Amino acid sequence: MADPVVVVALLLVAGSATLAVAVRDPVRQALVLSVLGVVLAVLFTVLQAPDVGLSQLAVGSAVTPLLLLLTVRKVRRRGQRKGRER
Amino acid sequence: MNRRFRLWLVAVGSAGLAALLVAACLELPDFGGAWHPYGDRAVRASLDRHTANTVASVNFDQRAFDTLGEMTILFAAVLGCVVLLRQTRDEHRARPEPADVEPPVRRYALIVLPVALLTGLYVIAHGQLSPGGGFQGGVVAATALHLLYLGADYRALERIRPVGLYEVGDAAAACAYLVLGLAGVLAGTAFLANTLLPYGTFNTLSSGGTVPLLNAAIGMEVACAVVVLLARFLDQAVEIEEESRA
C-alpha cells in the first residue's frame, strides 16, 4: 500500500461513507451517496479496474440517488395530501 | 425461539463467517503484487479469441452464462417494479403542469444530453475494445435521456419515451441473448460457446466472435430496463395521485 493515491482514495471513501451513515435526512443522504459513488469510482480507477469504476459512476452516483430522490418526493407528496385533508 | 437463543445463534454464525473470511484473506495474493493466477489465464484466453478488453471477454465469453444470470436478475427486478408500481384502482393520473426551467439549467441540460447519449452508445459499441461495455453504456444512455426532464419538463420526456416500446425492447434484447446462446448449441458446440463467428482482426469493432453481439444485446437490455425502471418511479413521483376519499 505504498501508493499515496490509493491511500488518499481509500480515506475519501471511508470519509464519505461515514458521512452517508451520519446524515439522517434522506434528501441529503442521496446527495452524499452520489458523492460516495464518484469517490468509489475514483478508487476503482486508481486500482486499475476502470470497468467497475464506470459501472459505479453510472449506477452509484446517478441512478441510485435519483431513485431515492423520486421515492422521497412521492412519500412527501402523499404526506402533504393527508395534511390538507385533515 | 427466545431472545437469548437467537443472540447465541447470531454469535455462532458470525464467528464462523469471520473465521472463514480471515482464513480466506490470509491466502489471498499480496496487494498490488505481480502474481495473478486467474488474471494471467483470463488474459491469455481473451487474446486467443482476439478480444482486446479482457473484462469483456470474461463477461461475454468465458463467463457468458454468469452474465445471463445477471441479466435475468435485472429483468426480474424491473418486472417486479412494473407490477408493484402500477396504477391501482384508487389512484388517478394528474397531468403535471408545464414547469418553468431556469435558462442556464435548460441550456446545460440540452447541451449535455446529446453528448451523454453519444458517450453511452460509444461505450456500448466499444465494450470489447476499451473499458466499459453493454451494462455501463446502457445505464449512461438511459440516464442521458432523463436530462430532458431537467431541461424541459415531464411532458417533453414522455414524448420521446414511449414506455411500451422500451418494455418490448427489454424483452427482445433478453431473448436475443438467449437465442445467441442457443445458436451455439445448434451449431454443435455448447450453450453460449464463442465458436460460431470468426474472431476477426484484433482491436477492431468486429473482433471477438460473438462478444460484440452479446455485448450489444446486454446494452439494449440494460438501457431499456433503466428507462422502464425510472419511468415507473417518475410516474409515481410526478403523475399518479391517490383519490381523496371525500
Q: What is the ipTM of this complex?
A: 0.86
Secondary structure (3-state) at B242: strand
Domain boundaries, chain B: 45-242
Q: Which residues of A touch B237 (CB under 8 A)?
A: 70-71, 73-74, 77
pLDDT of residue B87: 84
Q: A37-45: long-range contacts (C-beta < 8 A, 24 or more apart)?
A: A37/A61, A37/A62, A37/A64, A37/A65, A39/A9, A39/A12, A39/A13, A40/A13, A42/A9, A42/A12, A43/A6, A43/A9, A43/A10, A43/A12, A43/A13
pLDDT of residue B240: 82
pLDDT tens track for A45-78:
999 899 999 999 999 999 999 999 999 988 888 7
What are the residues whose beta carbons fall under 8 Å from the beta carbon of B180, sequence distance 6 or more? Answer: B192, B210, B213, B214, B217
Sign of CA dihedral B57, B58, B61, B65: negative
DSSP B204: S
Distances (CA, A) of B82 to B113, B180, B224, B226: 26, 27, 13, 12
pLDDT of residue B31: 80
Q: How many CB atoms lie within 10 A of CB B139?
A: 24
Q: Find cell 445463534 and name the residue.
A: B9
pLDDT of residue A37: 95
> Is pLDDT of A2 > 70?
no
> What is the DSSP code string of B127-148?
TTTSS--HHHHHHHHHHHHTHH
Option in A51, A63, A74 nearest B139 (CB): A63
> Is pLDDT of A84 > 70?
no
Work out the minimum CA distance from A22 to partner chain B, whole angstroms. Answer: 25
Distances (CA, A) of B60 to B67, B74, B162: 7, 16, 30
pLDDT of residue B246: 44
Whether B136 sits inside 8 A of A54 (CB atoms) is yes
Specify the pTM: 0.88
Work out how many CB contacts closer than 8 A connect A with B. Answer: 56
Distances (CA, A) of B199 to B132, B144, B182: 20, 33, 19
Q: Which residues of B touch A59 (CB under 8 A)?
A: 139
Strands (E), B47-127: 91-93
Determine contact, residues A70/B234, Cβ cutoff 8 Å.
yes
Strands (E), B72-214: 91-93
Whether B132 sits inside 8 A of A70 (CB atoms) is no
Rounded mean pLDDT for each run of 10 residues along chain B, 246 residues in total: 91 97 89 83 92 92 94 95 88 81 90 95 93 93 91 85 93 95 89 88 88 95 95 88 65
Option in A2, A51, A71 nearest B131 (CB): A51
Which of B31, B129, B233 should be substituted to probe chain A, the one whose Cβ sees the most A Cβ atoms within 10 Å? Answer: B233
CA dihedral B102, B106, B107, B111 (to 10 degrees): 160
Q: Find cell 444512455 and name the residue.
A: B141
Distances (CA, A) of B99 to A34, B129, B148, B150, B171: 25, 42, 12, 10, 33
Option in A62, A73, A85 nearest B244 (CB): A85
pLDDT of residue A83: 64
